[in-house]
A and B are shown apart, each in its own frame.
Chain A
Amino acid sequence: MRTKVFVPYLFLTPALVLFAIFMGYPIVYSLLLSFQTSVSGELVFTGVDNYAKLFSDKIFGKALLNTFIILIVQVPLMLFTSLLLATLLNSLKRFKALFRVAFFMPAVTSLIAASIIFSIILMNDGILNQLLGAVGIDPIPWLSHPVWAKVSLIIAMTWRWTGYNMVIYLAGLQNVSESLYEAASIDGATRVRQFFNITIPQLKPIILFTAILSTIGTLQLFEEPYTLTKGGPSDATITIGMYLYQTGFRYFNFGYASTLAYVIVILIGILSYIQFKVTGDE
């Protein structure tokens, strides 16, 4: 029995039409917008002016730097923790499902709700500083000091996404042959060596997958600084995503905001390419 040629297209029509209207067209249109500037209320083409402006825009420089600092510290830290937790959880015989749900829970909540709870926990007289005080550590200005504010963002992001990545790694671990570990044990390799010499190389493609996902997420970082630090103190935690929102929807400069959006697109492209090259040599 042969199916009629048009059948797949019929099934695909709703997705294709909606995709074309609400994603395809906007993606192209915003590329065009990125070459336009508002001149007395009218958007006119001004070539690469917006892109040239990036180089002299101090806030953009800060946003780019902040985003990169957070990216470089947070993504490796989180992925390593996820991998470690997955390995530990995988070695457990009982309560596996329970722990998995507990660790996954943060990924289920809204970023806004989570950021609000975090900002309350991290306030000067919040519970975290009180706990630290109990062990003799002076209160830390989590949200009002340029360095600590970045640390706070990193903590909030790590809290939210570690369990998510852990679950992905757990799945990957199930495909790693038990015999590799047995052979290594016979050769006298310690657990730590097995982790670095078997687990990490075996999971390489999945680590790459999570690294790319996390990079994409971090480059778009918006809700956490919007709620936790409002980009402050004095732009110490402004991210490209947040600067884009301010430019577009507070100052209604759609042209320049689209340029910033395409900067994110370009960065995601470059970084994904590098990650592919570094991690996947085949």
Chain B
Amino acid sequence: MVAKRVRVSITTLILLIGSFISLFPFYWAIIGGTNESGKIFAKPPVLLPGNQLFENIRNLNESIGIGRVMFNSLFVTIVYTILALVVSTMAGYVFAKFNFKGKTVIFGIFLLSMMIPYHAIVIPVFKMMAAWGWLGTYKALILPNIAYPFAIFLMRQNMMAVPNAMMEAGRIDGVSEWGLFTKIILPSSKPALAATAIYLFMYQWNNFLWPLISATSEDMYTMPVALSSLFGLSRIDYGQVMAGVTLATFPIILFFLMLQKYFIQGMLGSSVKE
């Protein structure tokens, strides 16, 4: 009994240290964002939040126009998440519940494309956008990744769990195919929808390379691009940067914490079922 208790304590201690390492950088960003620039490197270190947050945010606003950047990020991410969710739900549903000619080949191509790095796609997409005059527009930021294979895969894995009998019953009652999808399938795949939604939200909110390339003017910058532009300056105001990091992290953490139960379930669903 004693040995067991010791083991549990050691386990808990290791996990506590691990959690501390996981969470400390977030805490440090808050400390930095609420203190003056110099305090981040003070000796001995300042470990408590200060009262400079609003001052830092005001400076940040002067540098990058935080309102505009926040709006860009939120607008692009929300519109993207909705559109991509619709597209990947419809596709995932088909792969989970229908048999049709070409299914294996099409699904195989989707799966294989997940192994193709984004780098191999980005140059042609950039050239295409340039030719269409879309660079520096919301269209360019939102549209290219809407058919996102991993989201389709995630929806498919999770929708396989919806019982076929429910669909058969609907068909016998004469429900149309679209009605079947919206009235039976969608309501019973809420956890899968939540999981995919967070995944898509996270992907787009954090996306860096594509916005960096396609947002050709500062007023089209998203949070990560604006932050990195701030960090690249020769004289860096660290209080400002850390306030920016905190602001960029806050919405995504909030979104994740609200839906984390579904998210982890959904992710598990996709990795464990073969």
Give the B-binding residues of A (Cβ under 8 A): 1, 3-5, 7-9, 11-12, 14-19, 22-27, 29-30, 33, 85, 88-89, 91-92, 95, 99-106, 108-114, 116-121, 123, 125-127, 130, 159, 163, 167-168, 170-172, 175, 191, 205-206, 209, 216, 219-220, 222-223, 226-227, 241, 244-245, 248-249, 254, 257-258, 260-262, 264-265, 268-269, 272
Contact of A18 with B43 in the complex, beta carbons under 8 Å: no
Contact of B205 with A116 in the complex, beta carbons under 8 Å: no
Chain A residues closer than 8 Å to B11, beta-carbon distance: 88, 91-92
User: Which residues of B, 224-274, contact A by the 8 Å Cβ criterion?
Assistant: 224-225, 227-228, 231, 238, 241-242, 245, 248-249, 252-253, 256-257, 260, 264, 267-268, 271-272, 274
Chain A residues closer than 8 Å to B122, beta-carbon distance: 26, 248, 261
User: Which residues of B, 1-55, contact A by the 8 Å Cβ criterion?
Assistant: 7-8, 11-12, 14-15, 18-19, 21-23, 25-26, 28-29, 32, 40-41, 43-45
Q: A9-B100, A108-B202 in contact; A92/B32 too (CB < 8 A)? A: no
Contact of A265 with B116 in the complex, beta carbons under 8 Å: yes
Q: A12-B90, A88-B15, A105-B253 in contact; A27/B121 too (CB < 8 A)? A: yes
Which one, B18, B144, B172, B241, contacts A85 given CB within 8 A?
B18
Chain B residues closer than 8 Å to A100, beta-carbon distance: 264
23 contacts between A and B (CB under 8 A): A4-B177, A17-B147, A18-B87, A22-B147, A24-B109, A24-B113, A26-B120, A27-B113, A105-B26, A109-B206, A109-B249, A110-B223, A110-B224, A111-B208, A112-B224, A114-B25, A117-B25, A117-B245, A126-B40, A130-B43, A159-B22, A168-B267, A220-B119
Q: A23-B113, A265-B120 in contact; A104/B264 too (CB < 8 A)? A: yes
Give 15 A-B pairs besides A111-B208, A114-B25 with Cβ atoms closer than 8 angstroms: A1-B172, A5-B100, A8-B100, A11-B93, A26-B128, A103-B19, A113-B245, A118-B25, A120-B40, A120-B241, A130-B45, A209-B271, A216-B115, A244-B119, A265-B115
Shortest Cβ distance from residue A11 to the other chain B in the assembled complex, whole angstroms: 4
Chain A residues closer than 8 Å to B225, beta-carbon distance: 112
Q: A19-B110, A113-B249, A116-B245 in contact; A11/B117 too (CB < 8 A)? A: no
For the complex, count residues of B whose C-beta is within 8 A of A.
89
Contact of B208 with A171 in the complex, beta carbons under 8 Å: no
Nearest A residue to B256 by beta-carbon distance? A108
Number of A-B contacts (CB under 8 A): 250
Chain B residues closer than 8 Å to A261, beta-carbon distance: 117, 119-120, 122-123
Contact of A12 with B106 in the complex, beta carbons under 8 Å: yes
Cα-based distance from A163 to B20 in the complex (angstroms) = 13
Shortest Cβ distance from residue A237 to the other chain B in the assembled complex, whole angstroms: 16
Cα-based distance from A155 to B147 in the complex (angstroms) = 33
Q: A103-B22, A105-B253, A113-B227 in contact; A29/B87 too (CB < 8 A)? A: no
Chain A residues closer than 8 Å to B26, beta-carbon distance: 105, 109, 117
Cα-based distance from A111 to B268 in the complex (angstroms) = 23
Cα-based distance from A278 to B249 in the complex (angstroms) = 39
Cα-based distance from A170 to B45 in the complex (angstroms) = 37
Contact of A92 with B106 in the complex, beta carbons under 8 Å: no
Chain B residues closer than 8 Å to A26, beta-carbon distance: 120-125, 128
Chain B 77-103 interface mask (CB, 8 Å, partner A; 1/0): 000000000111011011000101001
Contact of B271 with A12 in the complex, beta carbons under 8 Å: no
